[in-house]
Structure 1
């Protein structure tokens, strides 16, 4: 029950109507039988004990299940939308909304079966649910490096709270060829918490340092590529649009299509509008 109480506090006691909306949607999803996970501030609080105000509820689903979940919600009077076809949908209740997430904004952290295989039991607003695994949270958050949002501190707190229990082999596999991103966060973790450096297994750091050493003395790629767009949808647009570098988000380098990136880029202006 302590975890349930803690997770409830993560939302700083939302308004009764908002709480009722959250609970109704969670109940509908449980009744539908379609797997889903709770993430965001609720999962972060479950692992770290850190309370944070949140404007919404993050639900993680498989892309293949979006239509089934939409149908289940519509049958109970809730309209859904596929906001960004490559990673995100929403269900709204007035000014309140729930995100239906099946990947990440850069198309990298796709929700697959492993998210559910390693999910953790929790209770959110009185409803029994599963929450995202810490490893997948670290993976998806690691690439968020916008001017207005940087999730590095979240990762450092997750490492501090869960590092001795993480499946490090799976985490390394998740990052794959993007291992430099993971390494950068692990280096910062050791800086933020010097006395907890041991939480990161020495073989993991040795492996990453060896990769860095080998790559440093290897020839650079022949093609002009910018992987910065995996970290920020806005801050590397000049490199793509004016300098002609190949966009690391777009297939075959990444998982997005030119249409996906165009929609995602167009939304930047809407994001910066005053609310």
Structure 2
């Protein structure tokens, strides 16, 4: 019994191996369902979709994690009622757990529904409120982004490093269209109108987890969005940090699991991006 308990708390290696295994298995299963889902429902708005594949992916991940770590807590998107208030409450209820797995079983469900190959499985593990493992898996490209606190971040076995652009005008930036069309979406549109003229260009591809993974990999110089949830951000935030980047809320305060309005960057353009959003009154 003691040996079994020790195995579950050895540290990053066993946790990361489980996260990788779960993300890979769920991602491969999701890929077989592309274009073949049976039910489609709206959650918070017409931009916030769910299928039985989302639910099946979360069930698979939860079962695997709790098989290895039955004493750990689990917070998955599909186990929470729709809407920002319910999401915030679910995090408050869970964030004091010693070990908390935070899972988005398909980040980019709208893309998945339309067969657009830009969606991911996002899995993070927080220890006493701090993310120590983050994995984002893109099954369409078979790309696995992995980070462990203090040990760097990797994709395809290579260590990632954020980009070197030091001006917004030289930078490719990403954002999203929030599901909350009464509050978050109008704010993000104001930010978009301010950033587009100043950046080299802006991309909106539909997965916050992948956008942050791309910041970590140096493919994007920055990303911001209003009204996200911890399962959208937790794994990607660690990827960015461990690749040498910076992640804060839109007011510049340090990132924690409660942040909903986020800015992630290579660090070099962070202040300029924050200032641009602030000048547009688009920080939430």
After TM superposition, is the score higher than 0.5?
no
Which one has a larger percent strand, Structure 1 or Structure 2? 2
TM-score (norm 2): 0.29
Structure whose residues are more often helix by fraction: 1
Q: Could you tell me the TM-score, scaled by structure 1's length?
A: 0.30
